[in-house]
Amino acid sequence: MKKPSLDFWFDFASTYSYPAAMRIASLAETSCVTVRWRPFMLGPIFKAQGWATSPFNLYPAKGRNMWRDLERVCAALDLPFTKPDPFPQNSLLAARAALVALAGNWGESYCRAIYRAEFGKGRSIEKGDAIGEILKSLGQEDHAVLERAQSTEIKLQLREQTEEAQRLGIFGSPSFVTAGGELFWGNDRLEAALDWARR
């Protein structure tokens, strides 16, 4: 029998996508579900609903609670946590490089390494040199990957993937979508999404 699958939609700028990215592989393995990692850009989706930045910046009480809550969530999972500055990070280049990485067999390691640098260590993931360092630490040719990440083909692929996310009704990250189109939003729904994928 074919293993059930689940699409994991994420933006590297998103806070709660960090614990989700760190948890999903082992939970999916236990559940016998195949996960497809699907980077996309939240920015255009936020802009479409009139937000110029993260709602966590637009609504300070919501933002304060999120940082404190994320700290508690990470502590409970034994994940290091440091708030990146500025927040949100511009995740465009990191997302493009993720598409290159995910076409190879080292995509998930790359995605986890980006999240770990950004929210575990509070480092910038915006520029080529920061991403290049992570690529090197994974044994990849940083210049070649970054050049490919900025090709027209990859730029277009990320744009199309973002449009697909929007068509699926995705409005936040992380989101999980089953083969049947059932949408789950948020790190808190990862287990429910995996359960649904197996139904």
Binding site for its own copies (CB under 8 A): 49, 59, 61-62, 64-65, 68-69, 72, 76, 169-172, 183-185, 188-189, 192
- Shortest distance, position 62 Cβ to its own copies, whole Å: 5
Least distance (Å) between residue 194 CB and its own copies: 13
Whose CA is closest to 135, among 120, 122, 149, 121? Answer: 149
Least Cβ distance, residue 61 to its own copies (angstroms): 4
- Strand segments (E) across the chain: 5-10, 34-39, 175-178, 183-185
Q: Give the nearer residue to its own copies in terms of CB position, either 1 or 76.
A: 76
Q: What whole-number distance in Å separates Cα of residue 134 and Cα of residue 23?
A: 20
Contacts of 102 (CB under 8 A, 6+ apart): 37, 39, 108, 110, 111
Q: Which is nearer to its own copies, 110 or 184 (CB)?
A: 184
Query: Whose Cβ is closer to its own copies: residue 69's or residue 129's?
Result: 69
Question: For strand 5-10 and strand 175-178, is the pairing parallel, antiparallel, or unpaired?
Answer: antiparallel
CB of 25 or CB of 183, closer to its own copies: 183
- Write the burial class of residue 138 (CB in 10 Å: 0-12 exposed, 13-18 middle, 19+ buried): middle
Question: Residue 8 — φ and ψ, nearest 5°?
Answer: -105, 105
Other C-beta atoms within 10 Å of 46: how many?
A: 19
Q: Least Å distance between CB 13 and its own copies?
A: 18
Q: Are 96 and 79 in contact, with CB atoms under 8 Å apart?
A: no
Between 64 and 143, CB nearer to its own copies: 64
Q: Which is nearer to its own copies, 16 or 37 (CB)?
A: 16
Name the minimum Å distance from CB 124 to its own copies: 29
From the CB of 57, what's the least distance to its own copies, in Å? 12
